[in-house]
A = this chain, B = another copy of it.
């Protein structure tokens, strides 16, 4: 494809999605840089085009249309002070809560702030008077980028409409030549099935018929339960899984690994590590509750295959890094789950059985420990699972600990609330957050790596001062263990430890002494369990250091995954033959 065709697809998909998301009218002020979008609107035909040479007037005109029609209206202008002329109307629409989609064309990055004509800094030009500012990527027409541009259009409209409704600003850098070639294929994307990024806005009654239509041809449906902070959702999601006879791939932070349910698949991360298996599964519908799960195979799956999704979120948000189309249902997860459960639909017995069998076998592999060997990072989790008191809190550090929890934390009857800092996934502040979780009086167990521990060690001042009940299990592999799983680990000779492994050679016992907290360093399984048990009897803080080695950890993890993969592949052949 040449530049003009790429340009046509990029702006074409954007305009098509604006229309599907609810924009029926656009007010365009003439200009050169905005040519691609102006021509796209004119060629598209379904969005009514109004033209006004004065952007100040155009802004207020669009406001009037939106006020009367009670629908979002788009505005389009060229680069430079043209955009600044929208400011008065944007301010009025902000205060009067009128949804406007403000599209401004811009010079590409290489022509900014170097004295090019009619190039002003348009980044966040309208400050906090717009609800959202989107700096768009330069036009590309790969499948990912077409999904991206479609998502951005939908997001602009949804954000503009969500209370408080108001204006949003989308800034498009365009390179010359600026006239798109609309004669090619797939300009608007409407000819691809599944391209429209429908958002269902939750209005108490979302459309069950639409869901029934989606379910009609589907055979291999899964529920993915990502992080959920409400620990009462589980019964509704179990109910849905039972009625539809489908598996729940449950993240440890979903709070679903409390109580046992035969539809719960805790080992999905291990089961889906191989691309061959992901391909063979042919999942044809995902129903996701909560944020994206930590398990990498799910992220890989969504990049490899186009799979329809129903995403249930409490708030209007866009936690969908795949850029794939999705039916969003915004509402309380438990209400939505019960609503879905009331739809009559049932998956095949073979499908559910495959997951149940494999989960059973995977769990037995993952729970097996070689009692003579060194303590592993899996053992760290298994030990906590065994000894942790009922009704307490388990907090996971980021990087490896949350992943180890995902792999090794089997469902528990102890009603454990599992938490982590998964907003931005930083390794900073983990100790302090976990101690904060203990401030309410509940006992907290923290599992954390050595680098994260050192980074946030000052938090122990809080433990020292307030004697809050916390058991900190430090998995000390003397460095950043997660990097050993990454490609750069192959080249260990050059710079690996300097830049990634970063061994600190710190004695954690001294830290414990300095902050006046209890310290144990068990070297075998029984000693570890005993240390945990003792810590739970103690007031205040205990640090339990488990020394592991990064290399051993990688080998050990990979062996387990290998075993699980081969069993899963075998069993998957059978189910293929059945269905």
Contacts and interface: CB of A to CB of B under 8 A. Distances in A.
B92 A436 contact: no
A163 interface: yes
Interface in A152-195: 163-164
Number of copies: 2
Interface stretch (A50-58, A544-552, A562-570): A50-58
A442 interface: yes
Interface stretch (A265-273, A426-434, A527-535): A426-434
A51 B333 CA distance: 37
Interface string A450-491: 000000101101100110000000000000000000000000
Contact of A419 (B56, B67, B458): B67
Q: How large is the interface on A (under 10, 10 to 19, 20 to 34, 35 or more residues)?
A: 35 or more
A307 interface: no
Given A461-B54, A462-B57, A63 B426 contact: no
Contact of A64 (B52, B54, B437): B437
Given A57-B462, A439-B65, A442-B68, A429 B89 contact: yes
Interface in A521-578: none
A461 B58 CA distance: 10
B421 A96 contact: yes
A240 interface: no
B63 A436 contact: yes
A128 B39 CA distance: 34
Contacts of A56: 428-429, 432, 458
A66 to B, nearest CB: 8
B423 A96 contact: yes
- A-side interface mostly: helix
B459 A424 contact: no
A84 to B, nearest CB: 14
A422 B96 contact: yes
Nearest to A439: B65
B88 A433 contact: no
Contact of A95 (B70, B423, B461): B423
A143 interface: no
B314 A163 contact: yes
A104 interface: no
Given A88-B428, A89-B429, A437-B68, A421 B315 contact: no
A19 interface: no
Contacts of A94: 423-424
The 7 A-B pairs of least Cβ separation, nearest first, read A64-B436, A95-B423, A60-B429, A96-B423, A60-B432, A64-B433, A57-B432
14 contacts: A56-B428, A60-B433, A61-B433, A64-B435, A65-B440, A67-B433, A68-B419, A68-B439, A88-B429, A92-B424, A95-B423, A95-B424, A96-B423, A97-B315
